[in-house]
Structure 1
């Protein structure tokens, strides 16, 4: 299985190089495979007991959560509660947990000590969104991912130019990220949700197509990139957790 391969490679090369080689090999192996097959293989054969789903419980999250739950409802799901989320997102999380019967959803919050140091007044987002994302998302996730060899993400190529060449499997340091929905379109996502009678995030109908923290999320106008409402007016397009920063401390300066 995949873990045995990477550990064998670790004996002769750098773990990050071994993970990169493994990611390329798995992407080739599963090229054209259905998302259901990628999820099932990852949970049962490639990374059994060592893979988590990191979910924002956002606009498209129900799809990947269901794919994972259909294989193993006890699979770990990591949810980052930044302290700045919409109330609708928190209630949607609870609704999906009940709907899918998920039994191991781990709500991860920022360190109170780090918040006291970096954002004592809760207004860091107003003048340094990178640093705010670092202390509220990147650092907590780095701790939450300790002990996992791989994690699922719900990213898709259509969402933004920065994701247009997203592979099925990618390496982040010595850890593997799995993107089962990489090739899905927005129509695919919606068709799956409707076909399986999955509840929609309540903010989607109000024009929020990519949902993060409340202060930094805006509605998306017709024809705009689905993530155009994130950090509106800034060059920033990612919070940092998908920029190779998970697993090491970040201060926001390079996110």
Structure 2
């Protein structure tokens, strides 16, 4: 589909499903893009909610997980815990290309000097390769998480495919209530002060009153890894 056509389709779907239940958005996406859609999951702090919803509809849906080589060991264990708890059969773990790592980060310390380049090598490029067969993918982003996410629509066009954001309107209380009602296991690092969890070297504990993502790339002036394109807050959006 041409870029203009993709943008128009994303806008049509966003208007159609604005305010719809997350489960309805997921079901519509799985129907519209049957066989051509994947879920991208970090198996992070809030991942269990979206994974549970998807498992209710299709336990074999492709789920792309990026093992950057710098993740907390607890995240890898949590991935396995959720796979078993939810009966997920489509999880695919993707890692950075060995040649790219050898060229860009042979010592494994690129994160110290250039966090953007590290993210590009360990996350952005591997995900682009993993998504190549798909026309759409599902993301767990939410509007309340950061200013760069405050205007997220439920459907958007990005990099030649449709991105689906079923949980855009959810807040912390709703996420926690859903997880508790479903008795979903929590990520063990949440209780240790990590409400948003990325790679170990670039994730810090969050202090009371701080934004949930304040511990990501602390002090670096960086808010996104590059997988998600940042958006300016929309003043017309409630809560923006």
TM-score (norm 1): 0.89
Q: Which of the residues 13, 16, 23 maps onto 1:26? A: 13
Report the 3-state secondary structure (helix = DSSP H, G, I; strand = E; otherwise coil) of the residue aligned with 1:135: helix
CA contact (8 A) 2:19 2:169 kept: no
* Partners of 1:56 and 1:188 in 2: CA distance: 20
Partner of 1:63: 49
Partner of 2:172: 186
Deviation (angstroms), 1:173:
2.7
Does 2:38 align with 1:52?
A: yes
- In structure 1, the gaps of 5 or more residues are 1-9, 245-255
* Partners of 2:156 and 2:54 in 1: CA distance: 19
Q: Which of the residues 157, 176, 199 maps onto 2:143? A: 157
CA contact (8 A) 1:18 1:174 kept: no
* Partners of 2:20 and 2:131 in 1: CA distance: 26
CA contact (8 A) 2:153 2:168 kept: yes
Partner of 1:88: 74
Deviation (angstroms), 1:234:
1.4
CA contact (8 A) 2:18 2:153 kept: no
Q: Which of the residues 72, 86, 95 maps onto 2:58? A: 72
The two structures, once aligned, show a CA RMSD in angstroms of 0.8
Alignment of 1:1-255 (within 5 A): 10=1, 15-43=2-30, 45-243=31-229
CA contact (8 A) 1:211 1:217 kept: yes
* Partners of 1:173 and 1:160 in 2: CA distance: 22
TM-score (norm 2): 0.95
Q: Spell out, residue by residue over 1:186-213, the C-alpha distance to the aligned partner (whole angstroms, 9 max, x if none).
A: 1110000000000000000011010000
* Partners of 1:232 and 1:173 in 2: CA distance: 28
Deviation (angstroms), 1:243:
1.9
Q: Spell out, residue by residue over 1:139-178, the C-alpha distance to the aligned partner (whole angstroms, 9 max, x if none).
A: 0000000110000000000000100111100101320000
- In structure 2, the gaps of 5 or more residues are 231-240
Q: Spell out, residue by residue over 1:71-115, the C-alpha distance to the aligned partner (whole angstroms, 9 max, x if none).
A: 000000000000000000000000000000000100000001100
* Partners of 1:17 and 1:224 in 2: CA distance: 39
